[in-house]
């Protein structure tokens, strides 16, 4: 018996060694030839990211989708001061750093290489045809256990090491961190032993790298990550088959196992039956009556253009668009055409997803630390997957690739990361039909067509659909959709009648042995509003009930608007209240309409949620930017990430909340508005095995910005402009 055990573990050790060797040989670095630059379609580890690490490859699709590449990015050149770094520029940064003294004699990792945007006044003055502003790269690197932020001047080759202050935390993980850390447990005999004892084949193992958060001094002075695993046997949806209670603490720098917690041996692994969500394996029933395919046709083609790869022009809008490894999508220099003057007017200098905070509501040993910050820890853009034509985006969509840098600085391509398309859902832009009692036969209607910029980030189990929707009436709608797969907990229960009355499941029993754990989602947006210029003010227009005086009116009460201009940051820390409503305006006090109103935009909240966690709870300290739904800060180029520059294992001392508490002046200043969109999620059985999309949004809407309805002169649809498509059955 002893000999058989030794033989078994010898075989396991050999297998693991081969897996690790294969992994290191196939590290996702680009080959030396530019034409062989990496793409998700050709190098799957880059699409794996946080999603999963498998010990065997599975053909999850019978027929791989046909994804088109736009062009060879090797020849890209920048045309606009805000254009992202090109492949050639990334290669140059890598070359410059390789000869710098900081990197000369030791190993290092480059956690991000991004464009260091020129100073805002210079960008605002720049016009097409002007010489391009000096190109610089901002680099975050780890060398000898220390984090550094550097500026690399691509023109001069100069490298400047910047001071970042004495803040806690580490940079966003590299793809190598996320790819290699789940393999670390496989080199540990105790881990392999418990896997075998649970009856799991190592070949069926899928593991996730889970950020640890921060919970005290014992977790300081080294980068740590936790690894939890699942069984892939019998399903592509391994998330529904957790190996509950088994958590491995790993040192991210050494890839060594620090600690193993194994407290769930009595909990069975849920069965694979009915967990697969792929269409190819579904049993189709006669009772199903799916709708026929639908497509929006544009006989004259799309009405938007994209100049120089990043400048989008559509209807009365113009804006700069680019992918970003941390934010996902950045919209800059958004301007709208004034129908009276024919001139483009500034609306927003820059907008993007600044941070996501996803705390799970289970305080037990294997779950308490699951309080993700997906942008600062994993990179929201790094998790973006190639979009699927015809399903993620309609036929006439334009696709934009992302070009990012690996941990050694080598560039690679994330194809079809963003799509841009026109959308028509039968909505109405404006209308009026005159009543017959007037004797006037008037029916005027305008269809609402919008332009959508879309990105989808698959952050492990969850899929975040982020849309920036531009409307011809000047409105910008920012919408977030949640789909994907729940993160579930294994349990011994098969039915709710087995559960003692006093036991807290921390969620919902979704299927046999499967609990969907309650959690929140918070998505914080950075919105640098420039309403007809940079100097703006924030106005809280409070809606108050006013009592009428005796004999004044048959009415006893009415509502009035009380305008309060925020003087300092604390005046603009806003918690939304249903029974104390307000409108929230960003105005330019020096620009007025012809009747004297200051021009402005207002943020219009949609359905949202607020964090209910204790303010002194460690996760909430780190996620303190969710303490309010609205904040306003003075523009500061170093204050863009709501959770701080270094989020991983941070303590929460460098967040939006910290900056705002400085209470700086914001009246008639260059200001930034921050808005947090929130979701409470109590899982239900309809979320199993994959969730129907749930969405929420907020609007940036003109308020006295135009002299009148800006789409008054837009024409209605007429029959001759629209094709008549015959259904297939009638042909």
What is the Rg, in whole angstroms, of the alpha carbon atoms belonging to the chain?
A: 27
Q: Is 622 exposed, middle or buried (0-12, 13-18, 19+ CB in 10 A)?
A: buried
To which H or E segment does residue 429 belong? strand 428-433
C-beta of residue 204 within 8 angstroms of C-beta of residue 15: no
Rounded distance between C-alpha atoms, residue 507 and residue 426, angstroms: 38
* CB count in 10 Å sphere of residue 204: 19
Nearest to 310 by CA among 79, 467, 476: 79
Angle (CA) 164-381-278 rounded to 5° is 150
Q: CA 151 → CA 63, 148, 326, 376, 516, distances in Å? A: 45, 10, 18, 20, 45
Rounded distance between C-alpha atoms, residue 265 and residue 636, angstroms: 51
Kindly report the backbone phi and psi dihedral angles of residue 465, in degrees, each rounded to the nearest multiple of 5, phi listed first. -105, 115
Rounded distance between C-alpha atoms, residue 21 and residue 23, angstroms: 5
Helix axes 2-25, 189-197, angle to 10 degrees: 110
Rounded distance between C-alpha atoms, residue 187 and residue 189, angstroms: 7
* CB count in 10 Å sphere of residue 442: 9
Point out the catalytic residue in the list 114, 374, 467, 530.
374
C-beta of residue 572 within 8 angstroms of C-beta of residue 538: yes
- In eight-state DSSP terms, residue 375 is I
* 706-709: Cβ within 8 A, 24+ apart: 706/338, 706/339, 706/340, 706/474, 707/340, 707/593, 707/594, 709/430, 709/473
C-beta of residue 133 within 8 angstroms of C-beta of residue 118: yes
Kind of pairing between the strands at 462-471 and 476-484:
antiparallel
Kindly report the backbone phi and psi dihedral angles of residue 169, in degrees, each rounded to the nearest multiple of 5, phi listed first. 95, 165
Rounded distance between C-alpha atoms, residue 349 and residue 591, angstroms: 17
- Please indicate whether residue 520 is annotated as part of the active site: no
Q: Is 184 exposed, middle or buried (0-12, 13-18, 19+ CB in 10 A)?
A: buried
Point out the catalytic residue in the list 230, 378, 462, 601.
462
C-beta of residue 66 within 8 angstroms of C-beta of residue 79: no
Within 8 A by CB and 6+ apart from 539, the residues are 563, 564, 565, 566, 584, 585, 586, 587, 600
Rounded distance between C-alpha atoms, residue 103 and residue 95, angstroms: 11
To which H or E segment does residue 2 belong? helix 2-25
- Please indicate whether residue 462 is annotated as part of the active site: yes
Instruction: Give the catalytic positions in this structure.
Output: 374, 462
């Amino acid at each position: 018996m002893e000999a058989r055990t030794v033989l078994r573990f010898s075989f396991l050790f050999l297998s693991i060694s081969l897996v690790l060797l294969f992994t290191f040989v196939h590290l996702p670095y680009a080959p030396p030839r530019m034409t062989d630059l990496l793409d998700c379609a050709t190098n799957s580890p880059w699409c794996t990211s946080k999603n999963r690490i498998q010990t065997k490859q599975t053909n999850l699709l019978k027929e791989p989708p046909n994804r088109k590449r736009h062009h060879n990015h090797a020849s890209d050149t920048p045309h606009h001061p805000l254009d992202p770094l090109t492949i050639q520029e990334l290669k140059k940064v890598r070359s410059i750093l390789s000869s710098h003294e900081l990197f000369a004699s030791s190993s290092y990792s480059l956690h991000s290489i991004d464009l260091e945007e020129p100073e805002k006044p210079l960008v605002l003055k720049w016009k097409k045809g002007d010489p391009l502003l000096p190109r610089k790269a901002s680099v975050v690197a780890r060398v000898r256990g220390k984090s550094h932020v550097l500026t690399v001047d691509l023109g001069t080759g100069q490298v400047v090491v910047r001071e970042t202050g004495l803040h806690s935390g580490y940079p966003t993980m590299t793809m190598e961190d996320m790819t290699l850390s789940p393999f670390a447990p496989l080199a540990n005999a105790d881990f392999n032993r418990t896997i075998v004892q649970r009856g799991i084949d190592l070949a069926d193992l899928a593991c996730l790298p889970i950020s640890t958060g921060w919970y005290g001094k014992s977790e300081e002075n080294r980068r740590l990550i936790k690894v939890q695993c699942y069984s892939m046997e019998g399903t592509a949806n391994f998330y529904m088959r957790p190996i509950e209670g088994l958590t491995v603490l790993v040192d991210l720098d050494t890839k060594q196992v620090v600690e193993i917690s194994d407290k769930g041996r009595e909990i069975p692994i849920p069965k694979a039956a009915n967990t697969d969500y792929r269409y190819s394996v579904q049993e189709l029933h006669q009772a199903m009556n799916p709708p026929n395919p639908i497509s929006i046709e544009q006989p004259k083609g799309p009405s938007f253009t994209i100049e120089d790869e990043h400048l989008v022009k559509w209807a009365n809008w113009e804006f700069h668009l680019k992918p970003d490894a941390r934010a996902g999508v950045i919209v800059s220099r958004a301007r709208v055409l004034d129908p009276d003057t024919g001139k483009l007017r500034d609306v927003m200098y820059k907008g993007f997803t600044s941070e996501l905070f996803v705390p799970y509501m289970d305080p037990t040993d294997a779950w308490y630390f699951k309080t993700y910050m997906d942008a600062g820890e994993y990179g929201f853009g790094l998790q973006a997957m190639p979009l699927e034509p015809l399903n993620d985006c309609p036929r006439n969509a334009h696709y934009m690739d992302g070009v990012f840098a690996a941990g050694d600085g080598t560039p690679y391509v994330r194809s079809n990361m963003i799509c841009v398309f026109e959308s028509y859902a039968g909505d109405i832009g404006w209308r009026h039909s005159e009543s017959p009692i007037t004797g006037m036969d008037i029916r005027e209607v305008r269809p609402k067509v919008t332009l959508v910029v879309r990105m989808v980030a698959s952050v492990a189990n969850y899929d975040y659909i982020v849309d920036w929707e531009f409307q011809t009436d000047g409105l910008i709608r920012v919408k977030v959709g949640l789909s994907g797969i729940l993160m579930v907990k294994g349990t011994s229960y098969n039915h709710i009648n087995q559960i003692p009355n006093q036991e807290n499941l921390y969620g919902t029993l979704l299927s046999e042995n499967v609990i969907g754990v309650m959690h929140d989602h918070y998505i914080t947006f950075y919105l640098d509003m420039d309403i007809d210029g940079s100097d703006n003010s924030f106005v809280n227009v409070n809606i108050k009930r006013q009592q009428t005086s005796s004999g004044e009116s048959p009415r006893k009460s009415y509502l009035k608007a009380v305008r309060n201009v925020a003087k300092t940051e604390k005046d603009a820390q806003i918690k939304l209240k249903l029974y104390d409503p307000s409108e929230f305006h960003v105005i330019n006090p020096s620009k007025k309409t012809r009747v004297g109103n200051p021009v402005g935009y207002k943020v219009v909240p949609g359905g949202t949620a607020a964090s209910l966690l204790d303010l002194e709870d460690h996760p909430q300290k780190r996620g303190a930017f969710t303490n309010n739904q609205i904040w306003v800060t003075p523009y500061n180029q170093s204050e863009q990430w709501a959770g701080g520059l270094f989020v991983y294992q941070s303590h929460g001392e460098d967040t939006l909340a910290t900056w705002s508490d400085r209470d700086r002046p914001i009246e008639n200043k260059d200001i930034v508005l921050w808005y947090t969109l929130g979701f409470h999620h109590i899982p239900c059985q309809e979320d199993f095995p994959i969730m129907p999309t749930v969405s929420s949004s907020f609007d940036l809407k003109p308020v006295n910005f135009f002299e009148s309805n800006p789409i008054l002169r837009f024409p209605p649809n007429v029959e001759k402009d629209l094709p008549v498509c015959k259904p297939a059955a009638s042909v």
